[in-house]
């Protein structure tokens, strides 16, 4: 059970639902810690003030911002003043059609779970969840996490209220500003080519099964750890994987047709 990150109230009109926020992801990355190669002892990070070369306690550390050459320092408490009202409330500002939101704006996913077992709470929770599911709407609001305000979208997922923090529109680069994205009527693909490519795509299509994909990187790191533990040697090496770099096909149509034949033969 992941720890709660935030708890407060989700409010929707005059309906208030006390909820707890938990991460919808778990960190399965292979994590290393730093050690001293000579003694094997673990490294501990200590914070030093560069001005006086003295160790500084955590509570004596603040946040510094360089404002046109002037260093401004704020305490965490002072920073809270930037969002006093919203610290423990997610107020739903409006609902939007879920399909209209570009998923690129979604940042980190969380779930909201009712924070009490009282009937009032669990029913209000279900009500909001079911009303959004039946209308395919997502609720848009804001929340303050670790003294940063986030725009959030709340929707129904897996019988829960799922919340995702969002990037603001100006934090997402418009692909129209990327010159390397080819556009314009002159280079438009021919209908026959698109049809052929669509056929190839269809022939290579299957249902999405998230569980069928394994994290090779994680597996290989764990393999490395394991081989090192067993061999006790100074160096462990995984077999190198040779991969041939493919070359661009000169004739697109021929490449599409050839691929299609192969994809159909594989099925």
Write out the binding residues for another protein, residues 113-132 only, by CB under 8 A.
Answer: 113-114, 116-128, 130-132
Task: Give least dist CB 248 to another protein, A.
Answer: 5
Dihedral over Cα of 32, 37, 43, 48: its sign? negative
Q: With H, G, I as helix, E, B as strand and everything else as coil, classify residue 173.
A: coil
**Shortest distance, CB of residue 128 to another protein, whole angstroms?**
7
Choose which of 3, 5, 6, 17 interacts with another protein (CB under 8 A): 17
DSSP 8-state code for residue 234 = S
Q: Is 43 in the site for another protein (CB under 8 A)?
A: yes
Q: How far is the CB of 79 from another protein (least distance, A)?
A: 7
Contacting another protein within 65-84 (CB under 8 A): 65, 67, 70-75, 77-84
Restricting to residues 163-202, which ones interact with another protein according to CB under 8 A?
Answer: 164, 167-173, 175-176, 178-183, 187-189, 193-194, 197-198, 200-202
Of the residues 3, 5, 154, 157, which one makes contact with another protein according to CB under 8 A: 157
Nearest to 106 by CA among 176, 34, 145, 162: 162
Beta partners for residue 267, in sequence order: none
- Using CA atoms, how far apart are residues 22 and 7, in angstroms rounded to an integer? 9
Using a 10 angstrom Cβ sphere, with 0-12 exposed, 13-18 middle and 19 or more buried, the burial of residue 55 is exposed
Q: To the nearest whole angstrom, how small is the minimum distance from the Cβ of residue 177 to another protein?
A: 9
Element of type H or E holding 263: helix 252-266
- Find the binder of another protein among 85, 185, 265, 267 (CB under 8 A): 85
Asked whether position 265 contacts another protein by CB under 8 A, the answer is no
Asked if 214 touches another protein (CB under 8 A), the answer is yes
Distance between CA atoms of residues 202 and 212, nearest Å: 19
């Amino acid at each position: 059970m992941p720890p709660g990150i935030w708890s407060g109230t989700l409010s929707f009109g005059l309906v208030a639902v006390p909820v707890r926020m938990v991460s919808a992801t778990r960190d399965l990355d292979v994590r290393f810690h730093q050690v001293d190669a000579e003694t094997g002892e673990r490294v501990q990070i200590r914070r030093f003030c560069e001005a006086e070369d003295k160790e500084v306690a955590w509570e004596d550390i603040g946040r510094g911002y360089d404002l046109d050459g002037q260093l401004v320092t704020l305490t965490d408490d002072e920073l809270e003043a930037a969002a006093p009202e919203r610290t423990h409330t997610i107020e739903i500002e409006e609902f939007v059609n879920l399909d209209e939101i570009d998923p690129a704006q979604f940042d980190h996913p969380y779930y909201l779970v009712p924070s009490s077992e009282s009937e009032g709470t669990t029913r209000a929770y279900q009500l909001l969840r079911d009303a959004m599911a039946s209308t395919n709407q997502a609720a848009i609001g804001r929340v303050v996490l670790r003294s940063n305000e986030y725009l959030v979208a709340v929707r129904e997922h897996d019988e829960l209220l799922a919340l995702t923090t969002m990037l603001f529109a100006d934090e997402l680069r418009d692909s129209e500003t990327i010159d390397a994205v080819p556009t314009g009527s002159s280079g438009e693909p021919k209908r026959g080519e698109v049809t052929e490519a669509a056929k190839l795509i269809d022939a290579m299509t299957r249902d999405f099964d998230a569980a069928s994909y394994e994290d090779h990187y994680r597996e290989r790191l764990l393999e490395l750890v394991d081989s090192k533990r067993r061999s006790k040697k100074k160096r462990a090496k995984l077999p190198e994987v040779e991969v041939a770099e493919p070359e661009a096909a000169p004739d697109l149509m021929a490449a599409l047709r050839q691929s299609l034949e192969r994809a159909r033969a594989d099925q």
